[in-house]
């Protein structure tokens, strides 16, 4: 709401500067967002919250200011006299949706351009001047907050006005903006003897528009039910100054005043010899305003606020706000004025008292609260642990929108029955590329990688923890599993104090470091079938017997589909954090550290390429000897010194007994047996 200070001063002389006025309004709930200079005047730009329809006018702001400063409010003159019969009949067929319909017939007006001063004020408030009659209705709308509509009387057919909802008879209307509109079901219309002439409370019809030639006018002021107006306005995608006010709740009590004010202005601005502004009036008011009586205990006010406001002060505040009040024994009975439809119950009254009393006067005191043993909760701790572990492996935490481009699913070559195809679709996305909710985080990270690459960054590691969304049944909420995904690319450097490893192992290392951090030991990796990964450089993580993620090099085909130009291998991983959370082990049960030393043996074997290190280690660990404590691979070699199609792998095996120091002789027997059996099992040979 834009309020020129000069206009405001026609209703109140606050006796304070515009800055002080802005501060007072802001601190009572009418936030002044800016003070704009407009020629000689200053415009207060006020953010009026949806509950305060009463403040969508100069009068409303002045009224509020009067409460805050005590300065008297200067109201426009009440109607000077009764108008005679209008010669127009009004029939309200739905008195719930239209509780009052009043009008005034004005004859022999001279339609033409409005005066400069009025045009300037309309423009300062964001409205476009049209002609003196329409300008007057807009001016009164801004000034008093009540929307009016002017019909060209001579275009209204049959001398009657019917207020009714759209039905078989009333199906469409051509509105003032020249658009032919189909009336939505339940829309309230104003009709004459032949059909709809206005969309009630939203916009007039083109056929009855006031034009330069208009002489006789029917001026309408009515009260329409907020929800109905909003529903129709939304259905039509139409929001006007009028609908904006009706859907927030107009003041049914101000209707006579608004008609009088507009009539007098028309007389002033469009009048001349023969102009009659009281040719006839109608006021059909079937549902009288009946304010609720709200009971509020003064002790309750202070109990909710944590304040000690005297009953007298509460009563004073409410009366100044225009509420009817009476009280006895600490119980206040109060009724809001007709312009305060937002006040319905005790809580609303408490807020009124508090905001005029001043929030800053209510003391601040920490609650002497009950202690809570809940703390952050283990899931919150878990997510922090995951973030810390992944950062240690060099991954920075990324945050992306939860949206996904439908093309991403194609780029990933997901099979038709892949769950990740069951994406949630938005009805009103901002753009097609953001029309799905993510079922995987990886496409977002690929875009991040490209963004960084384009800006010259060579070494990139990004990880994101976020929920993805898997659609299950129609009409039900989707599943929202929590995922951790990462992407990495690095420039190959052959620096003497660094060593190079396959990028795959760096990514896998990050995953393993995370699993170590989480103490999840029951895990292994098997070749992955993810369609967007390099089939020879990818693995699924199996933990607790379930697949809960993958790690691998993005396949060249996928990289191409995502339009990645660089040749470096890009590694990605994505883990199901909900599953990992469930796999978190109970607290460690301490075992005594070994008292006796171990004996180590190294062994290098030449085996076929297809033999996996993991298989060998598992074979060793499962070998029937109680003394085998640990086995680990420490070298892998392929090249000239081993035959083609084969590789050499070196393992370190650690033997230990729990109750004594093993002898070399004892170990020799077991170890040579193990080597012999291992060679048979793997079909390999000892490396010379």
Site for other proteins in 280-309 (CB under 8 A): 303-307
Nearest approach, Cβ of residue 304 and other proteins (Å): 6
Give the C-alpha separation, 105 to 218, whole Å: 5
- Measured in whole angstroms, how far is the alpha carbon of residue 123 from the centre of its chain? 33
Name the residue nearer to other proteins (CB basis): 234 or 660.
234
- Cross-strand pairs, 465: 484
DSSP bridge partners of 573 = 486, 551
Question: Closest distance between other proteins and the C-beta of residue 373, in Å?
Answer: 9
Closer residue to other proteins, CB minimum distance, 57 or 528: 57
CA 70 – CA 352 distance, rounded (Å) = 16
Nearer to other proteins, 32 or 611 (CB): 32
Residue whose CB is less far from other proteins, 15 or 50 = 50
Identify which of residues 150 and 350 has a Cβ nearer to other proteins in the complex.
Answer: 350
DSSP, res 24: H
- Candidate list 94, 95, 402, 685; residue touching other proteins; CB under 8 A: 402
Binding mask 445-474 for other proteins (x = CB under 8 A): ---x--xx--x-x--xxxx--xx-x-----
Tokens of 464: 């994101």
Q: Answer for the pair 629, 637: CB distance below 8 angstroms, yes or no.
A: no
Let me know: does 147 contact 141? Beta carbons within 8 Å. yes
Please answer whether residues 537 and 552 qualify as being in contact, where contact means their C-beta atoms are separated by less than 8 angstroms: yes
Residue whose C-alpha is closest to residue 342's, from 672, 1, 56:
56
SS3 268: helix
- Shortest distance in whole angstroms from residue 387 CB to other proteins: 7
When binding is defined by CB under 8 A, the residue of 478, 542, 613, 629 that contacts other proteins is 478
With CB under 8 A as the contact rule, the residue among 434, 629, 630, 677 that binds other proteins is 434
Q: With CB under 8 A as the contact rule, which of the stretches 69-77, 196-204, 339-347, 602-610 interacts with other proteins?
A: 339-347
Stretch that binds other proteins, among 145-153, 392-400, 613-621, 679-687 (CB under 8 A): 392-400
> For residue 46, what is the enclosing H or E element?
strand 41-47
Of 169 and 457, which has the nearer Cβ to other proteins?
457
In the sheet that 41-47 helps form, which strands lie side by side, from edge to edge? 2-4, 41-47, 31-38
Encoded one letter per residue, x for contact with other proteins by CB under 8 A and - for no contact, window 41-60 reads --------xxxx--------
Rounded least distance, CB 391 to other proteins, Å:
4
Distance CA 341, CA 338 (A): 7
Q: Specify whether the CB–CB gap between 45 and 36 falls below 8 A.
A: yes
Q: How many Å apart are CA 233 and CA 181, to the nearest integer?
A: 12
Instruction: Pick between residue 347 and residue 584 the one whose CB is nearest to other proteins.
Output: 347
* Contacts to other proteins from residues 177-236, by CB under 8 A: 226-227, 230-231, 234
Based on CB atoms, which residue is closest to other proteins, 150 or 445?
445
Q: Which is nearer to other proteins, 403 or 651 (CB)?
A: 403
Which CB atom, from 474 or from 664, has the smaller least distance to other proteins?
Answer: 474
CA distance 115 to 628: 102
CA atoms lying within 13 Å on the CB side of residue 451: 11
Q: What is the spatial order of strands in the sheet that 98-107 belongs to?
A: 148-152, 217-224, 98-107, 276-284
- Min dist CB 475 to other proteins, Å, is 7
Backbone φ and ψ of 145, nearest 5°? 85, 0
Positions 25 through 44 that interact with other proteins (CB under 8 A):
26-29, 31, 33-34
Contacts of 127 (CB under 8 A, 6+ apart): 138, 142, 241
Q: Which stretch binds other proteins (CB under 8 A): 158-166, 188-196, 476-484, 575-583?
A: 476-484
Within positions 479 to 508, which residues make up the interface with other proteins, using CB under 8 A?
A: 480, 497-498
- DSSP annotation of 584 reads P
Rounded CA gap, 458 and 576, in Å?
28
Can residue 74 be called a binding residue for other proteins (CB under 8 A)? no
CA-CA-CA-CA torsion sign (513, 519, 521, 524): negative
- Taking CB under 8 A as the criterion, the residue among 203, 390, 404, 507 binding other proteins is 390
Nearer to other proteins, 290 or 366 (CB): 366
Q: How far is the CB of 594 from other proteins (least distance, A)?
A: 30
Q: What's the CA gap between 340 and 356, in Å, rounded?
A: 15
Among positions 96, 177, 312, 380, the unique one binding other proteins when judged by CB under 8 A:
380
Q: Which stretch binds other proteins (CB under 8 A): 272-280, 358-366, 529-537, 674-682?
A: 358-366
Q: Please tell me whether residue 182 adopts helix, strand or coil conformation.
A: strand
Of 572-631, which residues contact other proteins (CB under 8 A)?
none
Q: Map residues 403-422 to x or -, x wherever contact with other proteins holds by CB under 8 A.
A: x-------------------
Question: How many Cβ atoms are within 10 Å of 233's Cβ, its own excluded?
Answer: 23
Closer to other proteins by CB, 35 or 73: give it. 35
**Which structure tokens are listed for 117?**
């001063």
Sole binder of other proteins in the list 391, 519, 638, 641 (CB under 8 A): 391
What is the rounded CA–CA span in Å between residue 510 and residue 666?
39
Which CB, 217 or 449, lies closer to other proteins?
A: 449
Binding mask 360-379 for other proteins (x = CB under 8 A): x-xxxxxx-xxxx-xxxx-x
Q: Name residue 607's beta-bridge partners.
A: 647
Site residues for other proteins, window 229-268 (CB under 8 A)? Answer: 230-231, 234, 247-248
């Amino acid at each position: 709401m834009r309020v020129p200070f000069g206009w405001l001063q026609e209703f109140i002389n606050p006796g304070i500067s515009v800055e002080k006025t802005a501060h007072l309004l802001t601190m009572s709930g009418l936030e002044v967002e800016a003070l704009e200079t407009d020629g000689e005047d200053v415009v207060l730009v006020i953010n009026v919250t949806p509950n305060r329809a009463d403040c969508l006018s100069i009068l409303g702001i002045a009224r509020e200011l009067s409460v805050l400063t005590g300065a008297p409010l200067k109201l426009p003159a009440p109607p000077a006299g009764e108008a005679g019969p209008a010669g127009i009949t009004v029939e309200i067929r739905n008195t719930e949706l239209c509780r009052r319909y009043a009008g005034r017939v004005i004859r022999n007006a001279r339609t033409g351009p409005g005066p400069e001063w009025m045009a300037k004020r309309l423009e300062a408030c964001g409205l476009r001047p049209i002609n003196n009659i329409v300008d007057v209705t807009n001016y009164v709308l801004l000034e008093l907050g009540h929307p009016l509509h002017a019909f060209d009387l001579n275009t209204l057919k049959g001398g009657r006005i019917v207020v009714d909802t759209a039905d078989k008879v009333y199906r469409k209307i051509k509105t003032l903006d020249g658009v032919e509109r189909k009336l939505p079901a339940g829309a309230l219309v104003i009709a004459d003897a032949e059909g709809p002439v206005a969309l009630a409370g939203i916009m007039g019809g083109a056929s009855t528009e006031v034009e330069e030639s208009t002489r006789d006018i029917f001026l309408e002021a009515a009260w329409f039910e907020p929800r109905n107006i909003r529903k129709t306005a939304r259905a039509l995608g139409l929001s006007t100054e009028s609908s904006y006010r009706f859907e927030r709740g107009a003041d049914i009590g101000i209707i006579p005043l608004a008609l009088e004010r507009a009539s007098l202005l028309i007389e002033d601005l469009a009048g001349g010899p023969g102009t009659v502004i009281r040719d006839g009036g109608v006021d059909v008011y079937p549902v009288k305003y009946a304010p609720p009586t709200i009971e509020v205990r003064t002790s309750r006010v202070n109990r909710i606020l944590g304040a000690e406001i005297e009953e007298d002060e509460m009563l004073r505040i409410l009366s100044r706000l225009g509420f009817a009040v009476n009280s006895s024994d600490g119980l206040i009975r109060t009724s809001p004025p007709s312009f305060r439809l937002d006040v319905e119950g005790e809580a609303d009254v408490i807020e009124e008292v508090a905001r005029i009393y001043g929030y800053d006067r209510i003391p601040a005191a920490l609650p002497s609260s009950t202690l809570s043993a809940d703390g952050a909760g283990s899931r919150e701790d878990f997510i922090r642990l995951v973030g810390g572990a992944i950062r240690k492996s060099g991954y920075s935490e990324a945050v992306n929108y939860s949206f996904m481009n439908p093309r991403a699913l194609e780029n990933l070559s997901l099979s038709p029955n892949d769950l990740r195809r069951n994406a949630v679709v938005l009805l009103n996305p901002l753009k097609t590329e953001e029309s799905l909710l993510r079922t995987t985080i990886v496409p977002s990270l690929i875009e991040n990688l490209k963004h960084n690459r384009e800006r010259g960054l060579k070494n990139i590691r990004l990880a994101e923890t976020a929920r993805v969304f898997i659609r299950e049944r129609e009409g039900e909420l989707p599943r929202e599993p929590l995922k951790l995904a990462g992407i990495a690319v690095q420039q190959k450097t052959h620096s003497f104090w660094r060593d190079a490893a396959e990028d795959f192992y760096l990514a896998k290392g990050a995953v393993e470091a995370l699993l170590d951090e989480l103490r999840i030991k029951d895990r292994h990796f098997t070749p992955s079938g993810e369609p967007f990964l390099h089939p020879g450089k990818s693995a699924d993580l199996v933990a607790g017997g379930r697949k809960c993620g993958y790690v691998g090099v993005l396949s060249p085909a996928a990289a191409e589909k995502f339009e990645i130009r660089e040749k470096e291998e890009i590694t990605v991983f994505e883990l199901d954090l909900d599953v990992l959370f469930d796999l978190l082990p109970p607290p460690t049960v301490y075992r005594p550290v070994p008292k006796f030393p171990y004996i180590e043996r190294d062994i290098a074997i030449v085996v076929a390429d297809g033999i996996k290190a993991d298989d060998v280690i598992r074979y060793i660990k499962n070998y029937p000897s109680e003394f085998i404590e640990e086995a680990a691979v420490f070298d892998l070699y392929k090249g000239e010194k081993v035959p083609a199609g084969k590789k050499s792998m070196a393992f370190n095996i650690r033997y230990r007994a729990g109750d004594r120091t093993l002898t070399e002789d004892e170990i020799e027997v077991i170890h040579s047996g193990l080597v012999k059996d291992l060679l048979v099992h793997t079909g390999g040979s000892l490396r010379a």
